[in-house]
Amino acid sequence: MGDLKLCCLGLSHKTAPVEIREKYAFKGDEIENALLQMNSISSVEECIILSTCNRVEIYFTSRASNPFKEIYEFLIERKSATVEEINQFFYKKEQKEAIKHGFYVASSLDSMVVGEPQIVGQFKDAFQTAKELGTIGTVMCRFCETALKVSKRVRTETGISKNAVSISFAAVELAKKIFGNFSGKKVAIIGAGEMAELAVKHLLSNGVSEVFVVNRTFERAVKLAEEFGGKPFPLTELNTVLQAVDIVISSTGAPGYVLTPENVVPVFEKRKNSPMFFIDIAVPRDIDPALNEVEGLYVYDIDDLNEVVKANIEERLRAAEIAKRIIEEYVDRFIKWLKELEVAPLIAELKEKAETIRKTEIEKRLSKLNLTAQQTQEVENLTRVIINKLLHQPITSVRKKAAEEERNQVVQIFREIFGLGKE
């Protein structure tokens, strides 16, 4: 029997186009069926499947000399895979590389957007499914628990998820810097567009109290307003809306400026110069940048937001470098634990042998000593303490050596010294 290996066979957005990721994805009940089928493979001891829109990864433990052979066969049978396709799009990782990769994935360092939070929930779901089906045991449970622990520490200590990396989130972050919080704040969306709509959704989820939708086509305004639970207005009532709101997101198809100092400043003065935040997502721009020259008016266009996103991505990449050092620390600990685990049966065997000898000798002697119950208990305790102290050093050493050197050689020497049976 070979050494236990923790392996990963997978593909991701880095190695495979979307049509290949779709082909190999496991969804819904398919994951459960696949896990149970894979767990019945003779060379697989434990297994878990992580399947998201950006990756399909199979983590498993095996003692086979070629641990991937039967997983290939599983994919060929279940997903109509070809060996050429697997070789082209899948990566194979063993032991340290597999463990490190899993920790990177759970910490979002391998995600399309570094620092994105969804992967943590997806990793937890995969772990829970495998646990409920009983396809994982001591090693994979420890692996998943450690991966999630690493992920939490990375997010807490590096702030890798802190800065926005989408235009819509960046707009919300900028608004937060101006208003602090959105309690009681109102937002107007002028025109329509995916990014503008996303920004409004993010603002609502962050506490904005009311949404006004302004559109040249009133029916469109009504439809959008229903989506956000807001109020619709035709473009002719824009000035009325401006007096009521604190944040304006504009994304029209107008050929020129929709908001200029001429129509905004009078409204601003009626608001007693209460700050207003304008997000211009339109190209060509909807909002005259001259508004920025008025104290209390803040205008950001698509280039400004892109600069914020770019800076935040760079910040996340710097955080990722710190995260890698944290992960290395946990990888080394896990490898050490895995090696020590391999000598656990040997240690149990030694303890059992020592206990058998102790009991045999005690039974021989106690019957001749005519001791009281209390004295008998003292002798029992004394002999157990002696056994524990005698075994402490060799057990500590074999655990240490198993983590540092070739396990098989260490086990063989240990068995010879203590007269234990062969593996």
Smallest Cα–Cα separation from 151: which of 111, 96, 112? 111
Active-site residue identified among 7, 47, 53, 144: 53
Among 54, 168, 160, 166, smallest CA distance to 115 is for 160
For 272, counting Cβ atoms within 10 Å of its Cβ (0-12 exposed, 13-18 middle, 19+ buried), the class is exposed
Whether 53 is catalytic: yes
Give the β-pairing of 44-51 and 55-62.
antiparallel
Residue 259: exposure state from Cβ atoms within 10 A (0-12, 13-18, ≥19): buried
Annotated binding site for substrate: 52-55, 111, 116-118, 122
Q: Alpha-carbon distance 82 to 76, whole Å?
A: 6
Instruction: Give the helix/strand (H/E) hosting 211.
Output: strand 210-215
Kindly list the distances between the CA atom of residue 362 and the CA atoms of 351, 377, 383, in Å, as whole numbers in the listed order.
16, 11, 9
Beta bridge partners of 418: none
The binding site for NADP(+) comprises: 191-196
Angle between helices 218-228 and 194-205 (to 10 degrees): 30
| C-alpha span between 79 and 92 (Å, rounded) | 18
Known binding-site positions: 52-55, 111, 116-118, 122, 191-196
Catalogue the active-site residues.
53
